[in-house]
Amino acid sequence: MKTLRKIRKNAKALSPVVASIILIAVTVAVSIAVAAWMGALSIGFMETEQMSIVNAQFTDTGTTITLSVRNTGTTDIVIVSATVNGEPATADATIAKNSDGTVVVTADWEQGATYQVRLLSSKGNYFPYNAVAP
């Protein structure tokens, strides 16, 4: 009879220990789920568009400007349009990540004039460059 009473007293002490273990397990599980969710969200923001225009060559015909570009970002850059001194111009190119390429801009130009060329990417980023026509 005395043994049965001891078990009953100890059974009550077991409940807080089990409850603490369950709380810790739930906390760890929720923190792992939140960490995985935040990691998945941040991967989309890690892709960056970084491009520098290295050189501009003006064609002999006076209608096109060829830009040498370098993509140093972590994603491909798709050029959808351009402006030359604020006026709309035609440009269409895709530059692979971590590579060099060329973008041909169709716009009229005159010798000796200074031009500001701005390329627009599909993600809405502008890449400016100033050049003087020979």
Q: Where are the domains of the chain?
A: 1-46, 51-132
What is the pLDDT averaged over residues 82-98? 91
Per-residue pLDDT at 66: 92
pLDDT tens across 38-59, in order? 877 766 666 788 899 999 999 8
* Banded pLDDT at 70 (limits 50, 70, 90): very high
∠ CA 74-104-99, nearest 5°, is 25
**pTM summary value:** 0.64
Per-residue pLDDT at 24: 93
pLDDT tens across 113-125, in order? 999 999 999 989 9
Considering the domain delimited by 51-132, tell me its CATH architecture. Sandwich (2.60)
Q: Give the dihedral of Cα atoms 119, 123, 124, 125; nearest 10 deg.
A: -60
* % of the chain at pLDDT higher than 90: 48
Q: Give the dihedral of Cα atoms 117, 121, 123, 125; nearest 10 deg.
A: -20
Statement: residue 63 has pLDDT above 70: yes
- Ranges 7-21, 36-50, 99-113: which has the least confidence: 7-21
